[in-house]
Structure 1
Amino acid sequence: MNDQRPEKCVFCAIVAGEAEASVAYADDRVVAFMDLGAVTPGHVLVVPRLHAVGLEDLDEETSTHVWRIGHRVGRALRRSGLRCEGVNVFLADGEAAFQEIFHFHLHVFPRFRGDSFRIDADWATRARPLLDEEASAVRQGLDADAPPAAPANTEN
């Protein structure tokens, strides 16, 4: 079991300046720093200053800002002079998705022919009725996440 408390979180320590990091970008909401366990040279993590374990714990404004900075970092990697024939933007949300540090973070890393990163899966084509059922389930999840409707105006 991973300790998810902010006082034990290495990313919180980096954000607070209590642990070393090679910072590529910082503002009042995020810090972007080089990943010690880089997939390729130039692998950056974009981390909100606010401790949030995963997507469910992160407010939409902060999440939007993380992705915005991730986009900027991806563009910067292409212009950096580092070997970069492509860019991956990768989120691991939860243990089943290979999240190892339980502080929300976005991986942004350069890709090039012959690098070691792989995603291996069964990429089988799914039948339309199954896709329709899954789309319905996602719509239900979106409805459950929607803000409550304003009360109807009953005055005439």
Structure 2
Amino acid sequence: MPEQTPYLTRGPLIAIGLALVAVIIGVAAVRMSGQTIRAPDGEPVAVRALRFEDRPDGSIAVIDARDGVQVESVQGEAGFLRGALRALARERHKRGLGPEQAFELVARNDGRLTLMDPATGQRIDLESFGPTNAAVFARLLKVDNQQAPAR
């Protein structure tokens, strides 16, 4: 006796196809709507206003915007830090804004770390790039082994 192979009838195949098309249309509609799809921000536990200045030797000076004191000098490649700052600076340049206003580095009670640009409203959720990359910015919150006070 010949072995029968199971098969789907035409009806279920059409239903599956329609469901896939509906999902694709739904995802596209949400993406094109401009809605942000992310978890709500936790409460800030530490905020530090920082300015970043390029130096002639190729380093980046990290300056506390409150008192103008240099807190760190970033030497060498520092690819993630440079890339994040370049993205924010590009947006400022597009809008004709300069480096006068400080960026805000925000640590949240849910463990997330965000670099925000109050001048443009842009933000980079640093934890999205992994703990090693987020740590590059997390160390900038430290001041004499204490975190900067929350606002």
TM-score tier (shorter): under 0.3
TM-score (norm 1): 0.22
TM-score (norm 2): 0.23
User: Between Structure 1 and Structure 2, whose CA radius of gyration is higher?
Assistant: 2
Higher strand proportion (structure 1 or 2): 2
